[in-house]
Amino acid sequence: MRKLFGVIGDPIAHSMSPLMHNDAFAQLGIDGYYQPFHVKSADLAAAVHGMKAIGVQGFNVTIPHKTAIMPLLDQIDPLAKAIGAVNTVVRENGGWTGYNTDGAGFVQGLREECGGPLEDKRVLLIGAGGAARAIYYTLASEKVNQIDIANRTLEKAASLAESCPYSVAGTVKTTQEAEAELAAYDIIIQTTSIGMLPLIEAAPLSVENIKPGAFVSDIIYNPFETKLLQEAKKQGARIQNGLKMFVYQGALAFEKWTGQTPDIERMADIVRHQLGGNYVNN
Ligand code: NAP
């Protein structure tokens, strides 16, 4: 019988995950289907129980359910528990197990494109929201030496660092402090929503003082090159957008569900094609 997978969120209509996963099923000859489900917060518990009842094998979780779903699951992977958010749910021993592949997806893409070991690099993380938390905790769990955080709301950055269960050096900075000390960083990771619609002409900080050859990763992928990435490129930095993170978090979920590794480049091409190249679809 065909195996059913999906993604739950609100809104969900623009998700590119169904295209990516259904193509991977076809490529690998797996009899599976991935369906987007529009689930409102008030219906989350009913949806999670209902999916178990009808035999769904696994699903992704997106905004606004990544944290709210946790008490509804049977087991939670330790890293997802530490992050406090689940984006992938797998049917294991008849129950639901929650994982977070956002951080691991990001770090896999970073390792691939940044070059050299991450462990001894000095990292600046801009932002302290859900995505920043997943990335910070995953980098810390992988023994990166120093991660400083710059965020509009300093208390949120401090609380993110304080509650991290993995030991890592670093301080919390205002955006102005981070700008002034930018030359100290080998890697800059941008995780705020500045650079996305409607803020496509804005950048979270000025990159005038960037270290030559620094690596700048912005987890936004629509637009493909945010203002920050454009400015960083002008200053001679190497840049990466959020497409790799998106594709790898999906690929890691796919592996957990099927035990098979999808074609990453093909997945990335599907998303690029769907976005229509470098354009912002509003
Ligand atoms: P979130 O939890 O709402 O966090 C938003 C972050 O952006 C916070 O640090 C917030 O600062 C900051 N921010 C928002 N508006 C700002 C403004 N006007 N000025 C200064 N700072 C501002 O969101 P999230 O889930 O972490 O997502 C953040 C971004 O990552 C989104 O653009 C999302 O699309 C992208 N993302 C990409 C992927 C991928 O696979 N590539 C995965 C997940 C998320 P405060 O703490 O001060 O409010």
The token pair at 270 is 């599907």
CA dihedral over 17, 89, 242, 200, signed as positive or negative: positive
Q: Which atom of ligand 1 is nearest to the CA of 132?
A: 26
**For ligand 1, is residue 191 a contact (CB within 6 Å)?**
yes
Output Rg (C-alpha) for the chain, integer angstroms: 19
Q: Report yes or no on whether pTM surpasses 0.85.
A: yes
Ligand 1 atom closest to residue 153's alpha carbon, by position in its atom list = 47
For residue 145, name the pLDDT band (cuts at 50, 70, 90).
confident
CB proximity list for 129: less than 8 A, separation 6 or greater: 156, 191, 192, 193
From CA 278, how far away is CA 282, in angstroms rounded?
13
Residue 281 in this model has a pLDDT that exceeds 50: no
Side chain identity at 167, as an amino acid letter?
S
**Cα separations (Å) of 227 from 124, 153, 190, 215, 241?**
18, 22, 11, 15, 11
Distance, in Å, from the CA atom of 61 to the CA atom of 48, rounded to the nearest integer, reads: 11
pLDDT, tens only, 40-96? 999 999 999 999 999 999 999 999 999 999 999 999 999 999 999 999 999 999 899
In the predicted model, what is the mean pLDDT of the chain? 95
Cβ–ligand 1 contact at 249 (below 6 Å): yes
**pLDDT-derived band of residue 202, with 50, 70 and 90 as boundaries?**
very high
With a CB cutoff of 8 Å and minimum separation 6, the contacts of 208 are 179, 182, 235
Domains of the chain: 3-100+244-275 (3.40.50.10860), 103-241 (3.40.50.720)
Residue 47, token pair as written in the block = 């949806």
pLDDT digits (tens, 9 = 90+) for 1-28: 999 999 999 999 999 999 999 999 999 9
- Out of 190, 193, 221, 227, give the residue to mutate to test ligand 1, the one with the largest number of ligand atoms within 8 Å of its CB: 193
CA trace torsion 72, 77, 83, 84 (10° rounding): 10
Does residue 42 or residue 130 have the better pLDDT? 42
Compute the distance between CA of residue 173 and CA of residue 171 in angstroms, rounded to an integer. 6
Is 16 close to ligand 1, i.e. is its CB under 6 Å away? Answer: no
pLDDT, residue 183, reads: 97
- pLDDT tens readout for residues 98-118: 999 999 999 999 999 998 899
Q: Is 206 in the pocket of ligand 1 (CB under 6 A)?
A: no
**pLDDT at residue 215 is higher than 80:** yes
pLDDT for residue 277: 63
pLDDT at 282 over 70: no
The one catalytic residue in 3, 40, 52, 66 is 66
Report the distance separating Cα 120 and Cα 12, nearest Å: 39
CA distance 207 to 203: 9
Rounded (10°) CA dihedral 266, 271, 273, 275: -170
- List, edge to edge, every strand of the sheet that includes 187-190: 172-173, 146-150, 122-126, 187-190, 215-218, 238-240
